[in-house]
A and B are shown apart, each in its own frame.
Chain A
Amino acid sequence: MTSTTPKGKSGWPIRLIAVILLATASDALLSYQVSQWAYGWLPVPASTAAPYVDDLFSLEVGIGAFIFFGCTGFILWSVLFNRAEKYDESDGLPIEGNNKLEVTWTVIPFIIVMILAYQAIHVSETLSALGPKVKYDVEGGLSPDTAIVTGVRDDIGPIDVIARQWSWEFIYPNGVHSSELHLPLDQRANFRMSSEDVIHGFFVPAFRLKQDIVPGSVISYSITPTREGRYRLRDSQFSGAYFSQNQTDVVVESEDMFNAWLKQSAANPLVPGLSPGTALYNERLAKGNKGWATVPPAPPPMVNDPGNPDAPHDA
């Protein structure tokens, strides 16, 4: 009980305050730096929603890093400087509590998380204004078409998104069927999503968009792509044996290219679409159907454009 005994009541513990200020400042600086790195931890932002999500993420990483470095720094400091000497069996300072401190460290985190909650709700509402989402009960008698047309703006759709075990099919208003999702740049795309068997998740990391497709409901969803490129669409809700194979690409292209694709595809004959699970399942059958039981894959959808799953993707 020597070195850590606090100074008497006279005067401010100048050194302590200086150390705390210095530590806080370097923690803040470091955390700010980490919050900037955080943008690089995400795939390229490719939709109107992405910047909002990325900013919120950066903010949370910054605050989180500040807390993490602050607390672990404190622990390290204690472990380095408050170690008991080898044969020292005595006790530390018997400080049992300090109501002011307790209240402070209840109130400050409360304020921080409420700010975060406010910001999260704000972003969440912005996102749902950018890409409104409505879930219709198929049984409920509501027509999925009614609400979709109420959205203004230059937009395309509704594009039907049909998820199956284990393939994706996209049907355009002009009747084109495709295994790849083509979207024109900077136009709001409206989707009408449904599943024919189990729950699937529509997940395009570059769009920061994820939506479960629940069988028995139709979900209308919109997104506006903002960057040309080829992006992965992945199934995010576990859907059975070939779940991990259930991916395809989203191609974002200029309006002209998109229209050309739509026209070209309409002229193409229907062929079996992309269904990697089917190929694996056939391999399995050839080997004598070993492994644990599985439902057989749905037949590949018949499409005008089977897509090109091997093309390099941006994210």
Chain B
Amino acid sequence: MTTTKYDPRVLKAPHPVPGAPDNWKRFFTFNTDAKVIGIQYMGLSLFFLLVGGLLAMVMRGELITPPSDLVDPTVYNGLYTMHGTVMLFLFLFPILNGFNNLLIPTMIGAPDMAFPKVNAAAFWLVPVFSVVLLSSFFVPGGPASAGWWSYPPVSIQNPLGHFLNGEFLWILAVALSGISSILGALNFVTTIIRMRAPGMGFFRMPVFVWTAWAAQTLQLVGLPALTGGAIMLLFDLSFGTSFFRPEGGGDPVLYQHFFWFYSHPAVYVMVLPVFGIFSELITVYSRKPLFGYKFVAIASFIITFLGLIVWVHHMFYSGTPQWMRNIFIVTTMLIAVPTGVKVFAWLGTLWGGKIRLTTPMLFVLGGVVNFILGGVTGIMLGTAPIDIHVGNTYFVVAHFHYIIFNTIGFGIFAGIYHWFPKFTGRMYYEGLGKIHFVLTFIGATLNWLPMHWAGLYGMPRRVASYDPEFAIWNVIASIGAFMLGVASIPFILNIVSSWARGAKASANPWNAIGLEWLLPSPPPAENFEDDVPTVISEPYGYGLGKPLVKDEEYYIRRSMEA
């Protein structure tokens, strides 16, 4: 950012925080620029991906042999609880908010988020609750060890009786995470509704913006239930109330309703933006318009709606009456329809395209293939008789990792590579990227595919030891897991060295269509500032020869000269 050839109007844009440093130090300040916040989210969450990954390595080390011999079973329980929590609340949610911060304003031509200070506050809550959560490793009694779903009565047992215990810190962290997410959601939804560039009607928004909007709406509806449940759990744990405590007449299953009413939709909060990333990238790297754009956009909100009425499929064997099971079988099955629409639209976009297998595209295609498998097993789990056999076994672990890592994780990597040049101003190394992809794909397959069979055969999840007949599947899984650990090396190497000394990126290295590609790389503070282009056509006009914005030539020239 040394050459100063921006358009003078852009240069004049007041820096959001007067006097804030303009070098790497700005990432360690209470900066209100969405692009800085986006990178803050990204960096922090990638760090926690490593933390969560290390915990997983220890778990897979324990599980490589049947007996519980590497760590004490109590330690294993703490490890897997923290692994799940770190991955969800400190990796996935934050990194997706990183994408939201980087992409929503730039894609809709807004200078920043609607509420920049709230935005910064939402981010800084993340390091705060990460400290709360991780400090639980040092309290007597150790961290929470009742799993990321924290079902009572196990979660309220508190064997040492201390007030300050791992579970207490866990609930506190989850509540803080909820506050941060609600602040974020309000901001994203407001920004999308109120701050679009002139001419950008809802049906001219990129699909990523649609999916982020649908996902953040879910946060607003679902999170209050989780937060309510968590507060009641905290009271049961620390103040002896009996909302969920059976000895006092409470109902432990009630907690499960609170929990899943949010936590089922939460999976869509995570996967919807990734559907958005898939849609953005498949068009660029096939050089075709998104097939059935409007269907894909609307399907996001249908998923949001249906996502809210399926939660009981997590409780088929919790004593749920038959009539209730039947209703939730049907609603769960329905989810497959709008998700299917999306998958078919991606396939339709590939058809007859000019496909380029760059690293981001490889991650997208790998992610889509894995999503189809994860979706198929999801449908199986939705049919109660099958769920009654495989629920709470490794089959479920296989299903949700196929979605949560092999789909969502892949989408995140794809997005990072794709937009890396835009936001850092540097190109990544394609060779390292491809090594990262190959190792990740093989490692992930070895890790999670065999778990399907272990589960079908009856291996319960959350166990520190198991019967010897499950050994073969677990050995393969552990090898896959270690391979995933190795796969992170080329990734880290790539990011660090490319950012430091990669080739300078042009404004639009992929020759992509979208407002963000009409900005210089990296974009200046406040994006287009008050020189916002007027959008005149739908997104993804590949091969159509229609400009996206009025005076497109001017914006292209300006972005290239910067």
Contact = CB atoms under 8 A, between A and B. Distances in A.
A272 interface: no
B342 to A, nearest CB: 11
A124 B287 contact: no
Interface in A236-271: 236-245, 247
Nearest to B81: A238
A60 B389 contact: no
B486 interface: no
B322 A128 contact: yes
Contacts of B391: 210, 236
A116 B376 CA distance: 12
Contact of A97 (B293, B350, B384): B293
Interface string B420-460: 00000000000000000000000000000000010011101
Interface residues of B, number: 102
Contacts of B541: 94
Nearest to A237: B392
A224 to B, nearest CB: 16
B163 interface: no
B286 interface: yes
A244 B72 CA distance: 12
Nearest to B332: A117
A82 B354 contact: yes
A60 B383 contact: yes
A219 interface: yes
Contacts of B458: 43, 203, 205-206, 232, 234, 315
Q: Which of B73, B334, B457 has the most chain A CB within a 10 Å cutoff? A: B73
B355 A79 contact: yes
B385 A52 contact: yes
B397 interface: no
Interface of chain A, main secondary structure: mixed
Contact of A113 (B290, B292, B379, B460): B379
Contacts of B353: 78, 82, 92-93
Contacts, number: 308
Given A92-B354, A210-B392, A243 B329 contact: no
Interface stretch (A21-29, A100-108, A180-188): A100-108
Given A43-B457, A84-B355, A116 B350 contact: no
A136 to B, nearest CB: 10
B471 to A, nearest CB: 14
Interface in A86-141: 88-98, 101-102, 105-106, 109-110, 113-114, 116-117, 119-121, 123-125, 127-128, 135, 139
16 contacts: A71-B347, A90-B354, A91-B288, A92-B543, A93-B352, A101-B348, A106-B337, A110-B334, A114-B333, A121-B330, A124-B326, A198-B153, A205-B457, A216-B251, A240-B154, A284-B72
Given A53-B385, A96-B544, 6 more contacts: A98-B291, A109-B336, A121-B326, A123-B385, A206-B458, A234-B458
Interface of B: 68, 71-75, 77-78, 140-143, 145-147, 151-154, 157, 159-160, 166, 246-247, 249-253, 286-295, 317-319, 321-322, 325-326, 329-330, 333-334, 336-337, 340-341, 343-344, 347-348, 350-357, 365, 368-369, 372-373, 376-377, 379-380, 382-386, 388-389, 391-393, 453, 456-458, 460, 462-467, 511, 541-544
